[in-house]
Amino acid sequence: MRKLGVITDITYSGFLLVRADFAPRIGENILDSRKKKIGRVTRVFGPTKAPFVTIRPSERKTSLSLVGQELFLR
């Protein structure tokens, strides 16, 4: 597993905002530290050295407790 980055915020529409260490491909599966699927990459934007990534969660319920959690690519 490759570390993607840390969840910094949750948008009003329920997407997870991640400050990433690199730019992943759109549509890639994102996992938490326990290898549980969190969602898929929907958008990559910002500076190329430290981009922001939006993730559509696989579960409809998103919690503020996810903020600060590290995410990984399979």
Residue range 29-65, pLDDT digits in tens: 999 999 999 999 999 999 989 999 999 999 876 778 8
Domain ranges of the chain: 2-60+69-73
The secondary structure of 4-47 as a DSSP string is EEEEEEE-TTS-EEEEESS-PPTT-EEE-TTS-EEEEEEEEES-
Res. 23 pLDDT band, cuts 50 70 90: very high
Tokens of 13: 């529409």
* Average confidence (pLDDT) over 16-21: 96
Query: What element of type H or E holds 55?
Result: strand 52-57
CA distance 8 to 66: 9
The alpha carbons of the chain give a radius of gyration, in whole angstroms, of 11
pLDDT over 90 percentage in the chain? 84
- Tokens, residue 71: 């995410």
pLDDT of 64: 82
Residue 65: what pLDDT? 84
Top-level CATH class of 2-60+69-73?
mainly beta
